[in-house]
A = this chain, B = another copy of it.
Amino acid sequence: MSKQGAAGTVTLADVAAHAGVSLATASRAFNGSARTVNAEMTERVLASARELGYSANAQAQAVARGSTRTVAVVLGDIADPYFSSIAAGVIDEAAQNGLVVTMWATGSSPDRLLSTLAAMRSQRPQALIIAQSGQLQSEHEAPVTAELTALERAGTAICTIGSGSGSFLRVLVDNAGSTSALARALVERGYSRFLVLAGDQGLRTPSERAGGFVAGLRSLDLEPLAVQAGGFSRSGAFATMSAALESGLRPDCVFAVTDVMALGAAAAIRAAGLEPGRDIGVAGFDDIDAVRDVSPAITTVAIPLAELGARALRATLGSREHLETEAIAGVVMLRGSTPVRR
A68 interface residue (CB < 8 Å to B): yes
- Flag if A103 contacts B87 (CB, 8 Å): yes
Beyond A58-B123, A102-B101, whether A87 also contacts B92 by CB under 8 A is no
As a 0/1 sequence over residues 1 to 35 of chain A, the CB contacts with chain B under 8 angstroms (1 = contact) are 00000011100000000000000000000000000
Residues on B with beta carbons closer than 8 Å to the beta carbon of A118: 55
- Flag if B91 contacts A85 (CB, 8 Å): no
Most buried by B among A60, A103, A234: A103
How often does this chain occur in the complex, in copies?
A: 2
| Contact pick for A88, options B77, B85, B92, B120, CB 8 Å | B77
Residues on B with beta carbons closer than 8 Å to the beta carbon of A41: none
Beyond A9-B154, A122-B56, whether A79 also contacts B85 by CB under 8 A is yes
- Flag if B78 contacts A88 (CB, 8 Å): yes
| Contact pick for A55, options B77, B98, B154, B267, CB 8 Å | B154
- Flag if A263 contacts B58 (CB, 8 Å): no
Question: Number of contacting residues on A, CB 8 A?
Answer: 55
- Flag if B295 contacts A293 (CB, 8 Å): no
A220 interface residue (CB < 8 Å to B): no
A231 interface residue (CB < 8 Å to B): no
Would you give the shortest CB distance from A13 to chain B, in whole angstroms?
A: 14
A272 interface residue (CB < 8 Å to B): no
A245 interface residue (CB < 8 Å to B): no
Q: Give 13 pairs: A residue, B residue, CB < 8 Å, sorted on A.
A: A9-B155, A55-B121, A55-B122, A57-B63, A57-B122, A59-B63, A59-B123, A79-B85, A91-B103, A100-B120, A263-B293, A266-B293, A293-B294
In order of increasing CB-CB distance, the 5 nearest A-B pairs are A59-B62, A79-B88, A84-B84, A58-B122, A290-B290
